[in-house]
Structures are given as structure tokens and as C-alpha cells.
Amino acid sequence: MTPHSNPPSAPTHQAVPSSGQPEPNQFRLLIVDDLSANRLILSRLLNLTGYLTFEANDGQQALDCIATRPFDLVIMDLEMPNLNGLEAIRQIRGLSKPKLANLPILAASGNPQSETMRQVLDAGANDFLTKPFDPPILLKTIARLLSPTPGPSHPPITEANNERIAPSKPSKSVNNPL
């Protein structure tokens, strides 16, 4: 893999690293979003906090990437052309290799409706965050999903208020460009 040399919007069928070569024990995250600006902002934040990031433009590219390279976590946008995030999550969970089928997936969408969250979690995502991201919540969620004993994949959603039941702050973000 070579450092990112094409414009972020240039379609490729290979993961493009957003930063240099991986260091030992450095987590490799695949960011899947059709908007290059979203990928760029997220990559910069995650690179600054020590993660090695790679990018894919849609669900099909994500599937191609995880089939050929190891990743520790996927951040998957839901609304994309070609193959949307929901279907890509279903296909990842259907893979025959256990390591790939159990790859942590953090779904992301600007649509925080409980029905969307249910569909995503039922499809096999480990968690769901709304966009724009609140960086501390995003980083805490990623760290939890990457921990060796992550516990429950997500807190339950209540019918009454469409909110998650959790001891910490909810995953909703506060006017942030991420």
C-alpha cells in the first residue's frame, strides 16, 4: 500500500492509507464514506490520536478492502451509492472467515431514528453513532470496540424516547464538523 496520492474522491478499489506505514500494534481503521470531506476530517482526527486509517468510497470497496487486507475496525456510513452501508454490513457478517465476520463495525448516519438504528444493529453493526460526530464520544466508542473485552455491543434503545439506555452520555453529537 502506498500513501494517499490520488484526490480523496478518486475512485479506487484498494484501501488507501491516510497516513504513513503502520507501527507495531497500531490499530488499522477503514473509513467508508462516499463524501471525501467526511473521510478527510475523520482520518485527520483518528491519525492525530494514533490510529492508522484507510479509506473506501462505498460498501463494495469496503468489501474488497477487508477481503485483501487486515483491519481492526470499520467505520461505515449508511447512505452511499453502489452498495449502501446497511447491505455492506450484512455481507461482511455473512463472510465465511470468522475473523472477518466478527470484525467490529461502527455504523454512522445523519439519521438518528430508532428504526434506522435497529436495522443497522440487526444487520450486525456493533454500534451506531449519529453524524456529525462528537469527537470524545467517537473516540471512546472506538476504544471500547477495539478493547479485548468490549462487553455488550450496544445499549438497548427505548421505545418511549428513541434514546439508548446507557450509564454514559448518549451517542448524539453536538454541532461538530465531524
Whether the per-residue pLDDT at 10 is higher than 50: the answer is no
Crossing angle for the helix pair 135-146 and 36-48, to the nearest 10 degrees: 70
Count Cα atoms within 13 angstroms, Cβ side, for 91: 15
Q: How far is CA 155 from CA 74, 170, 178, in A?
A: 19, 10, 23
Q: What is the pLDDT of residue 170?
A: 34
Query: Would you state the cell numbers that stand for residue 110, as one nine-digit string?
Result: 445523519
Q: What is the pLDDT of residue 151?
A: 46
> For 149-159, how does the pLDDT look when each residue is reduced to its tens digit (9 = 90+)?
644 444 433 33
Q: What is the pLDDT of residue 112?
A: 76
Tell me what the pLDDT averaged over the chain comes to.
77
d(CA 93, CA 115): 20
Mean pLDDT of 59-71: 94
Whether the per-residue pLDDT at 100 is higher than 50: the answer is yes
pTM, two decimals, is 0.73
Mean pLDDT of 87-102: 89
d(CA 104, CA 151): 12
Q: Say if CB 55 and CB 34 are below 8 A apart.
A: no
Q: What is the pLDDT of residue 99?
A: 82
Range scoring the smallest mean pLDDT among 27-31, 37-41, 171-175: 171-175
Whether the per-residue pLDDT at 18 is higher than 60: the answer is no
The pLDDT confidence band at residue 114, using thresholds 50, 70 and 90, is: confident
Q: What is the pLDDT of residue 149?
A: 64
DSSP characters for 82-145? SS-HHHHHHHHHT-SSHHHHT--EEEEES---HHHHHHHHHHT-SEEEESSP-HHHHHHHHHHH
Q: What is the pLDDT of residue 25?
A: 57
Domains present along the chain, CATH in parentheses: 16-146 (3.40.50.2300)
